[in-house]
Amino acid sequence: MRIALVSDTYTPQINGVTTVVRSIRDALTAAGYGTAVVAPVYPGMNGRRSADELRIPSVAFPPYPDIRLSVPMSRRVSAFLDTFGADLVHVSTEGPLGLIGRRYALRRDLPLVTSFHTDFPRYCRDYGVPVLSGVVWRWLTWFHRPARVTHTPGVAVVDELKRRGIGQAALWGRGVDTAWFHPSHRDPVWRRQMGATGDRVLVLHVGRLAPEKNVELLIEAWEIARRDVGHRAVFAVAGDGPMAWQIETRAPWIHRLGFLDRTELAAVYASADLCVLPSSTETYGLVALEAMASGLPVIAADAGGLRETVRHGDNGLLAPPTDPRAFAAAIVELTMEADRRREMGAAARATAEARDARLEHAELIALYAALTHARAEVHACTAA
């Protein structure tokens, strides 16, 4: 079985989609199956083709340079996948490369699996163009409808996709690597460098610094919480994006860590004491589960996929996504109540352990096998 993975975002960029695509590739390789990846070239890389990876030249998307738009090299992608001999194509994004991968699978009569990771219709609202939401939904429905299966990690999103006419939507992508993200990675030296000495609490946010992540509310909530807790907490942000300048100018007391690789991120999670995620556009929120696997209670927006992971009062706290004072109050509560914070952290770790990614990878490989086997049977009957 040979699986082609096509994505408009991939390593070295760090986000939820790249994490999932890389984990699929690693699981397939470990199981002995052939994999090939088609993804963009990023600055500092070259586009040379290897036996199992094709990087397509890309340019920065002007409003958001971290997003890359790949040059539409359909023939090059097709030649690469033909040589690879793909039995199935899994498209993880709806961008230029995703469109090429979709077209290739349909023209070659290969099973097509797609993923719905990003709630772009809600992004239209956050970027001030809500009128485009309907247009985006029509594009997404057209894009995913030919797939045999469309994976998405949120229960509510599965229901929404089915309501929109994507009847093959299925729940997948809710797993986390609980061995990699683990409380044992806690680093006292790093904590001291951040100023989290003694009983000072380190409050962490991980994610893109962009409007869809509710960064404006995050800053306001942290400003309020900082006034209330005083020296008892320090604040750190891991990530970058178009709103980074707001943190630099409005809240220079926040430790900006920038983008971190997977190794650094595991240590940062484990070295913090709680994680704050105010985004209301998450289809699921893998960051929340990574933080939980690291033993952190999560303060999250009571919206979207985050409410499917964070159980209020058990493994974290939920707050209205438009209320910075509610987020600040939750931060103050967990900062001041160490025992409650630790109890929630233990419950958070238990939540993550129940969603270990290894179980999901086994399910995915079984799905791939069933789809490729069914195709082989059809072709055998046709030939006979």
The CATH number assigned to the domain with range 183-353 reads: 3.40.50.2000
- Whether 7 has a pLDDT exceeding 90, the answer reads yes
CATH 3.40.50.2000, domain 2-175+356-383, yes or no = yes
At residue 125, the pLDDT reads 66
Contact predicate 305/285, CB 8 Å: yes
Q: What are the extents of the domains in the chain?
A: 2-175+356-383, 183-353
Provide the total of helices (H) and of strands (E) in the chain, helices listed first.
14, 15
- Segment 165-193 shows an average pLDDT of 93
DSSP string, 196-241: --TT-EEEEEES--SGGGTHHHHHHHHHHHHHHHGGGEEEEEEB--
- Segment 81-98 shows an average pLDDT of 95
- Whether 281 has a pLDDT exceeding 90, the answer reads no
Work out the widest C-alpha separation in the chain, in whole angstroms: 77
At residue 381, the pLDDT reads 56
Instruction: Locate 292 and state its tokens.
Output: 């939980």
At residue 313, the pLDDT reads 95
Residue 154: pLDDT band by 50, 70, 90 thresholds? Answer: confident
pTM of the model: 0.83
Q: What is the pLDDT of residues 102-114, one digit of tens each?
A: 999 999 999 999 9
Cα(340)–Cα(333) distance, rounded to whole angstroms?
9
Q: What is the DSSP letter of 277?
A: E
Identify the residue whose tokens are 């052939």. Answer: 34
Contact predicate 193/299, CB 8 Å: no
CB neighbour list of residue 337: distance below 8 Å, 6 or more residues apart? none
Q: What is the pLDDT of residues 221-238, one digit of tens each?
A: 999 999 999 999 999 999
- Segment 344-357 shows an average pLDDT of 95
Q: Which helix (H) or strand (E) element contains residue 349?
A: helix 338-353
- Whether 378 has a pLDDT exceeding 60, the answer reads no
Residue 20, Cβ neighbours under 10 Å: how many? 23
- Whether 128 has a pLDDT exceeding 70, the answer reads no
Cα(124)–Cα(129) distance, rounded to whole angstroms?
5
Within this chain, domains 2-175+356-383 and 183-353 share the same CATH topology: yes
At residue 284, the pLDDT reads 80
- Segment 78-84 shows an average pLDDT of 95
- Whether 63 has a pLDDT exceeding 70, the answer reads no
The answer for 198, left when phi > 0, alpha when psi is -120 to 50, beta otherwise, is left
The answer for 338, left when phi > 0, alpha when psi is -120 to 50, beta otherwise, is alpha
